[in-house]
Amino acid sequence: MNFSKADLQKEVVFKASRSGGKGGQNVNKVSTKVELLFDVAQSALFSDEEKQLLFQKLQSRLNRDGYVQVMSEEERSQFMNKEKALEKLHLILARALHQPKKRKATKPSKAAKAARLENKKLQSAKKENRRKNFGDQ
């Protein structure tokens, strides 16, 4: 990941509106709800391959104009909600661009094979002894 929150902040658009829910007079007067819009296609932060990957993985998060939309209305101040929305966007983009490591196939060691076979022999002998003693009764 070669992008930071400061880089993202230059390329996002914020919209503020009144938040719903509890809060009394503060909710009625102050526009604290923040909607963040990020245009993946126009971003200078990502290569074409990264943009394709983002479009694939974030398809459900894109609105009809092709923007990634993030909302935040948890805090009572607009500034804090902007910070939270930017944090959420950074996390979303980082998860979408994360490439898991390829699994390397490995073989069990000779010692592990020998230990497994020894355990099987012990189990087999234990059950064989039970079988011999079972018919005596």
% of residues, the chain, pLDDT over 90: 23
Confidence of residue 27 (pLDDT cuts 50, 70, 90): low
* Domain interval for residue 120: 108-137
Same domain, 26 and 57: yes
Same domain, 137 and 85: no
Domain count, the chain: 2
User: Is 37 inside any structural domain?
Assistant: yes
Is 27 within 8 Å of 18 (Cβ atoms)?
A: yes
User: Residue 9: is its pLDDT beyond 80?
Assistant: no
User: Is 103 inside any structural domain?
Assistant: no
Query: Residue 95 — φ and ψ, nearest 5°?
Result: -65, -40
Confidence of residue 23 (pLDDT cuts 50, 70, 90): low
pTM above 0.75, yes or no: no
What CATH number is associated with residue 24?
A: 3.30.160.20
Mean pLDDT of 70-78: 84
Average pLDDT, the chain: 84
User: Is 26 inside any structural domain?
Assistant: yes
| Sequence-distant (≥ 6) Cβ neighbours of residue 5 within 8 angstroms | 86, 87, 90
Same domain, 18 and 85: yes
pLDDT in tens, 83-126: 999 999 989 888 888 888 999 999 999 999 999 999 999 999 99
User: Is 44 inside any structural domain?
Assistant: yes
Residue type, 39: D
Same domain, 75 and 114: no
User: Is 118 inside any structural domain?
Assistant: yes
Neighbours of 15 (CB within 10 A): 12
